[in-house]
Amino acid sequence: SYVDLIVKAAKSQSARDLVPDFVALMEQESKFNNGAKSWTNVKGLVQMTQGLASDLGLSREDITTPEKVIPAGFKHFKRLLGTFKSKEWTHIGWNAGWGVAEKLKRYGIDPGNWETTKGKLEQALRAFPKTYGPDKIPVKKKLKEVVKHVETIIRRTEEIKKAKAKE
């Protein structure tokens, strides 16, 4: 199962505590549909761009190969968390891109306080062009998606942890 592949990736990277976070991320990104494709042209279980896949040593086909994309995606998730030191910011980096998260950090937004971050995102994004990325996505649309994305994953992670504690 996909969860077994996540657990295996977590064990190999000494990060079992991140399993609920990555399960929630994958659920939000693709609803566990390996054929999922977003309006932003990302695809697969973890909704990975071709550029990121290449950076992680994956081919175009690997994006939809669970045995390859899950360990690579988990590694990237852990790397983002190591950089941003906050799960909320890790999810911003995942959804909007590492570069966007880095640029937002330069606006002095506290990565440890989601409510402050959320309140300042729109203000900070005014410094961005009206469109985002190579596909010219409207920034306001992307901002709403990022906020929803982060809040849904954080909520779902807590639900998964509570369910696991009851087992």
- pLDDT (tens digit per residue) in 80-96: 999 888 898 899 889 88
Tokens of 9: 């990736």
Mean pLDDT of all residues in the chain?
87
Give percent of the chain above pLDDT 70: 88
The structure's pTM equals: 0.86
Instruction: Say if CB 46 and CB 70 are below 8 A apart.
Output: yes
Can you tell me the mean pLDDT for 96-124? 75
User: Per-residue confidence at 15, pLDDT binned at 50, 70, 90?
Assistant: very high
In angstroms, the Cα distances linking 42 to 23, 94, 161 are: 18, 12, 28
Q: What is the pLDDT of residue 97?
A: 81
